[in-house]
Amino acid sequence: MMKADLVIYNGYVSTEQGMVVGGLAIKNGIIIQVGGDASLPEAEKYYDAKGNIIFPGAIEPHCHFELWVVNKHGKFNLETYIEEVRSETRTAVQGGYTTISSTTMQNAEPMKKRFQEFKEGMEGNIFCDVKFHISPFTEEHLEEIKELSKKGVTNYKFLMGYRGAGAKALGMDERGINTSFIYKGFKKIAEAGLPATAMCHCEDPDIFEITEEAVKAEDEPEDYNYTAVQNKARPAIAEVIDICKTAYIAHETGCPLYIVHVSAKESVDQIKFFKEQHFDITAETCPHYLVFAEEDAICRNNKEWTHYAKVNPAIRGTRDRERLWKGIQEGTIDVIGNDHTNYRKTEKLSNNYWDTPAGTGDGMSASFSIMLSEGVNKNRISLDTLRKIMSENVAKAMGLYPKKGTLNIGSDADIVILDLNKEWVFKKEYSESSNAYSLYDGMKLKGAPVATFVRGKLVAENFKIVANEASGVFAENPFPGKYSQN
């Protein structure tokens, strides 16, 4: 029998076929065997899972490492970007993430130029595997889609919720993205072939520019609940209308559709309808929508926190929160993403709420623990559902399955050990993110990732980095072909 590099034993392996009592063996970063402890081969090293869950590493589909870099310099700065990818990938593995996909902040230059800059900047600086999604907004960008798809770009993000000053801040044309551009872009993605996918931030500015202006004109009483204000300024109708528009265009053009950060009850209802009609849609929501609601005491009583929690789309109400949990349970919501950003306090604590940049900050350090605590341990979702929404479904949507997202023989040994019974309090200092705060600071939790392996290498244990070097790589698609959720 082949001698393994590493055997992880004395646990419960969470596989697509069910739970396996025992462990798994790893050779050259690949899983070579899954089974009972007695059946596993000899190894150079052994790791005792101590009766905990051996789980596929989480995959982050949607984060923004470059926002602070651009804000600081007024334009992309490679040196600062390298600092950011180093800190944020360390944060990722601390929280049980083994692969992440970040936006490349795009300007009017060719997308392949920015893609290459980002790819070169991360080499030798990342602690987990990384891939990128790109945001096209010019006709020239659309012509690059086929070529970039061959280079490993799977997801093309259409930032529909930005125009004017908001678009300019992201390096986009101030006119934003209109329907004809979406239609042409979706056709190009469909022509590029699987697993190329359109990613969409769905918020219609034709609506929220009117509602936001009206809210800004209101007086601000001392007890202003800014989370409720943001919900009113960028209402659910703006989100659901763009979801309907993109869903029909995607279906017509044959383009797979991935909807980021679904926040509203109406959106979940509409996505459920489209899936019942066999539309190819993957839907993502985020922990901040599952944990918080505008009625919560922290929103009503803590103005500083509401500045940190400003995000597009807004954190909504209790009815929306419960519908999102139900959406996960019924399979309408496929994926958990974090929309992870990293800002400094001076940026988020502006005297004027409307000048505060949108983004909830570091999510990856706490997300896995939150989904264990609020989902699995409160019987909202099963452990198997968690495996799908944190790992398997994300890998399929990113074109990485079966290389990643599963603990099958032949898959990358991207593994997290989960202690379901660990009771603890999350603190910001557990994270190495350059983001200066956490929405979850002080939150009581039950369940946590206690060890993270990236391609068989132990990189984090009990929220501490234990790897001596940054050995993450660009996450290559194993082969063309999308694994649909539907």
Q: Do 359 and 446 share a domain, yes or no?
A: no
Residue 84, pLDDT above cutoff 50: yes
Q: Do 124 and 19 share a domain, yes or no?
A: no
Output the pLDDT for position 347.
Answer: 78
Q: Do 195 and 306 share a domain, yes or no?
A: yes
402 occurs within a structural domain:
no
Q: Do 321 and 344 share a domain, yes or no?
A: yes
**How far is residue 359's CA from residue 340's CA, in Å, rounded to a whole number?**
7
Average pLDDT over residues 195-206: 94
Q: Do 241 and 122 share a domain, yes or no?
A: yes
Lowest-pLDDT range of 93-97, 247-251, 475-479: 475-479
473 occurs within a structural domain:
no
The confidence band for 210, taking pLDDT boundaries of 50, 70 and 90, is: very high
484 occurs within a structural domain:
no
Q: Do 49 and 64 share a domain, yes or no?
A: no
The confidence band for 219, taking pLDDT boundaries of 50, 70 and 90, is: confident
Would strands 281-285 and 335-336 be described as parallel, antiparallel, or unpaired? parallel
The confidence band for 160, taking pLDDT boundaries of 50, 70 and 90, is: confident
Q: How far is CA 379 from CA 97, 329, 335, 375, in A?
A: 23, 10, 18, 6
Q: Give the domain extent around 432.
A: 4-55+411-465
Query: At a CB cut-off of 8 Å and minimum separation 6, what does 61 contact?
Result: 101, 155, 258, 260, 284, 335, 337, 394, 397, 398
Q: Do 389 and 448 share a domain, yes or no?
A: no
Q: Do 329 and 447 share a domain, yes or no?
A: no
48 occurs within a structural domain:
yes
**Per-residue model confidence as pLDDT tens digits over 402-459:** 999 999 999 999 999 999 999 999 999 888 888 888 999 999 999 999 999 999 999 9
Two tokens at 282? 């993957």
Q: Count the domains in the chain.
A: 2
Tell me, rounded to whole angstroms, the distance of Cα 353 from its chain centroid: 25
Output the pLDDT for position 358.
Answer: 87
Give yes or no for a contact between 59 and 475, defined as CB atoms under 8 angstroms apart.
no
Closest CA to 253 of 184, 178, 157: 184
404 occurs within a structural domain:
no
Q: Do 302 and 427 share a domain, yes or no?
A: no
Q: Do 304 and 261 share a domain, yes or no?
A: yes
Residue 73, pLDDT above cutoff 50: no
Beta partners for 460? 452, 465
Beta partners for 54? 13, 417
Percent of the chain residues past pLDDT 70, beyond the cut: 93
Mean pLDDT score across all residues of the chain: 91
Phi, psi torsion values for 242, nearest 5 degrees:
-70, -30
Element (H, E) at 80: helix 78-94
Tell me, rounded to whole angstroms, the distance of Cα 125 from its chain centroid: 20
CATH number, domain of 249, equals 3.20.20.140
92 occurs within a structural domain:
yes
CATH number, domain of 28, equals 2.30.40.10
Output the pLDDT for position 120.
Answer: 81
Output the pLDDT for position 363.
Answer: 87
Output the pLDDT for position 164.
Answer: 66
Q: Do 115 and 70 share a domain, yes or no?
A: yes
Angle between helices 265-276 and 236-253 (to 10 degrees): 20
Output the pLDDT for position 163.
Answer: 73
**How far is residue 132's CA from residue 106's CA, in Å, rounded to a whole number?**
12
